[in-house]
Amino acid sequence: MIELSLARLARAVGGDLRLAPGDGADTLVSGAVDTDSRLIGPGDIFVAKPGDVTDGHLFVPQAVEAGAACVIVEHDVDVTVSQVVVPDAVRALADLARFVVAEVRSRGDLRVVGITGSNGKTTTKNMLARILEGAGPTVSPRASFNNEVGAPLTMLRIDTGTRFLVSEFGASGPGEIARLAGLVDPDVAVVLMVGMAHAGGFGGIEATFLAKSELVRSVRAGGLAVLNADDARVAAMAPIAAERGASVRWFGRGANAQVRARDVEVGAAGTTCVVEADGEERMLHLQVLGEHHVMNALAAIAAATALGVTLSDAVDRLETLELAERWRMQPLGSERVRIINDAYNASPDSMAAALRTLAQITGPGERMVAVLGAMSELGEYSGEEHDRVGLLAVRLGIQRIVVVGPEARRLFLAAVGEGSWDGEAVFFATADEAFEYLQGELRDGDRVLVKSSNSAGLRFLGDRLGESFS
């Protein structure tokens, strides 16, 4: 974080300053800010956030022992460092992030990119960060830091030398993206797609559209909206950008996109395509598995080239990215039995994309095996969407469909109903049972996809399979 006096810090978050012996209002702090006491080091700032399971105030002594220079709390704690007492620690975290970003903007040439979409946010964030790191100091989220805590923590990692801040914005309901994006007023807003992910929380696909469009409504006047030309709902956000005085840069596979791809070929070693941008062309080889990641790459290239990066440099940087993120199309196992662990997130769109990728990378004489768990946060759409996945798996000719967990049983029944009734589809209540089955079932030449939402926990099953067949 940038250097601030304790007095300015307290004013920024609207808190009451309780000075420790030896500190003054002008005492400077500049360490990292975190809500996890285990990550606090000398000079850092600990935010004691109440949680569903425990209360951060219980860990203030550990943070102080680790060297915290200051703590932000909701009530006084008996420790020997200065405290800023606030009514709401999460709100204080957001207020501090807003203040720090505005301060850095006023001092230098900080450019902020916000990314949202029903799928692909984290992969696109990592792709864009990899490109921008070659152009200047860049801060981007760790893992999927995209909620009311993770997004401000990312923003607070910037300093006066930061050139680019890449923020990922997720949401569990209406208004959340507007609140988070409002902390930074992005120069560039990237919208990837509007799909069924989290549709249960939003109340349907149209409500999801409104929620994702909040990012475009938050872009700075004179800024840029990078929009998916192939997604009709995303394309419908162009008038919103115009209302904000922002221009639009289109990406997609169609001829009307300013940044587009053609001649796409998918294989076990990655995906190749020709990228066209503003009259230039470059061949791109993505090591990240899956044809669907071409769209994420196009979005990253569209944003980066708008920020002054050349197409050639953007492609060169993208080609160094070996993995989107742990548990996202992560290759494990061996050539004998290849495991693709994609069980961090799942939605109807990402399930379909992962299953199609499995079909595309499985060669003659090899066998497709899909280990599938539940998709969460679909609400009233859950049943029919699990049905669709089961039907697709059968129609793609996947030879073994292994369904895990009671919440995914409908997917299994749909596969059986579609014709996988002679042992092609099997069901297990637990991951341990599925692991035991797969230990005896998998054989040389198998290509195995493990796919589910985070809550289903199959990412750990994928790790176990990867280690077992390495």
Domain boundary among 284, 318, 352: 318
Q: Is residue 253 part of a domain?
A: yes
**Do 242 and 300 belong to one domain?**
yes
256 is in an annotated binding site: no
CA distances from 230 to 139, 236, 315, 353, 406 (A): 29, 11, 22, 16, 35
Tell whether 213 is in a known binding site: no
Q: How far apart are the first and last CA of the chain?
A: 41
Whether 451 has a binding-site annotation, put simply, is no
The CATH code of the domain that includes 269 is: 3.40.1190.10
- Is residue 167 domain-shared with residue 296, that is, in the same domain? yes
Report yes or no on 96 lying in a domain. Answer: no
360 pLDDT higher than 70: yes
Instruction: Name the band, by pLDDT with cuts 50, 70 and 90, for residue 323.
Output: confident
Domain presence at residue 100? no
In a domain, 215, yes or no: yes
* Angle between the N-to-C axes of helices 293-306 and 121-132, in degrees from 0 to 180, rounded to the nearest 10: 40
Predicted pLDDT of residue 245: 94
155 & 292 share domain: yes
CA 348 to chain centre: 17
Q: What is the rounded CA–CA span in Å between residue 411 and residue 355?
A: 14
Read off the CATH number of the domain in which 12 is found. Answer: 3.40.1390.10
Do residues 222 and 199 share a domain?
yes
Question: What is the percent of the chain where pLDDT is above 70?
Answer: 98
**Please, is 443 exposed, middle or buried when counting C-beta atoms within 10 Å of its C-beta (0-12, 13-18, 19+)?**
exposed
Residue 193 resides in a domain: yes
pLDDT at 311 (0 to 100): 98
Do 287 and 396 lie in a common domain?
no
**Judgement on whether residues 119 and 164 belong to the same structural domain of the protein:** yes
Share of the chain above pLDDT 90, in %: 82
Does residue 116 sit in the same domain as residue 14? no
Is-contact 68 46, C-beta < 8 A? yes
Is 126 annotated in a binding site? The answer is no
One-character DSSP codes across 295-362: HHHHHHHHHHHHTT--HHHHHHHHTT---SBTTBSEEEE-SSEEEEEE-S---HHHHHHHHHHHHHH-
- Answer yes or no: is 419 within a domain: yes
Q: Is residue 255 part of a domain?
A: yes
The pLDDT assigned to 392 comes to 96
Domain boundary among 266, 283, 318: 318
Torsion sign (Cα): 435, 442, 293, 124: positive
CA angle, 193 then 195 then 197, to 5°: 115
Q: Is 120 annotated as a binding residue?
A: yes
Within-domain flag for 95: no
Is 118 known as a binding-site position?
A: yes
| 270-277 and 280-286 beta bridge pairing | antiparallel
Question: Taking the CA atoms of the chain, what radius of gyration do you get in angstroms?
Answer: 24
Q: Where are the alpha helices (DSSP H) in 82-182?
A: 89-107, 121-132, 150-155, 176-181
Domains identified in the chain, total number: 3
140 is in an annotated binding site: no
The pLDDT assigned to 84 comes to: 98
Q: Are residues 335 and 394 in the same domain?
A: yes
Q: Are 385 and 376 in contact (CB under 8 A)?
A: no
Q: Which residues lie closer than 8 Å to 101 by C-beta, 6 or more apart?
A: 110, 112, 155, 158, 165, 183, 184
**CATH code, domain with 415:** 3.90.190.20
Q: Do 274 and 353 fall within a single domain?
A: no
- What's the rounded Cα separation, in Å, for the pair 16 and 27? 15
* DSSP assignment letter at 50: B
Pair 296, 384 in one domain: no
What is the C-alpha to C-alpha distance for residues 47 and 91, in angstroms, rounded to an integer? 11
Statement: residue 235 has pLDDT above 90: yes
305 and 372 assigned to the same domain: no
pLDDT in tens, 99-115: 999 999 998 899 999 99
Q: Do 155 and 304 share a structural domain?
A: yes
Give me the domain span that covers residue 53.
Answer: 4-87
